[in-house]
Amino acid sequence: MAKIPWYLWIIVGGVMFAVSYRIGESMNIFLYIGLLFLVVGIFKMLVSFILGNKGKKAVKQAAEMRTQQFTCPRCRAVISPDFYFCPNCGTRLRF
């Protein structure tokens, strides 16, 4: 169940819903099954979006921390955080 992507649920649910809607009242149970698939698909879509955004945010934050701490504000040289002066341009980094 976890391996089925959300769009497959929506496609299957949508097709089932459309087909049973056309066939009519005798196939009404499939209308509800189609709706159920649609709801599951939408739910899975929301979950995957929320989890996906969190993952991207964490990666972005880690990248920002790397660049913030180790670059000179004046010449943008990549330097060790324990330097007091930039070895490239001589700018004071700490007070």
C-alpha 40/C-alpha 90 separation (Å) is 60
The mark string for 65-84 relative to Zn ion (x by CB under 5 A, - otherwise) is -------x-xx-x-------
User: What token pair was written down for 17?
Assistant: 């819903």
- Should residue 10 be labelled a site residue for Zn ion when binding is judged by CB under 5 A? no
Taking the complex as a whole, the smallest distance from the CB of residue 76 to Zn ion amounts, in Å, to 7
Sorted by sequence, the CB contacts under 8 Å of residue 60 that are 6+ apart come out as none
- Should residue 4 be labelled a site residue for Zn ion when binding is judged by CB under 5 A? no
Kindly state the DSSP code that residue 78 receives in the 8-state scheme: B
- Should residue 85 be labelled a site residue for Zn ion when binding is judged by CB under 5 A? no
C-alpha 42/C-alpha 73 separation (Å) is 46
Closest CB to Zn ion among 19 and 77?
A: 77
Residues of the shown chain interacting with Zn ion in the complex, contacts defined by CB under 5 A: 72, 74-75, 77, 86, 88-89, 91
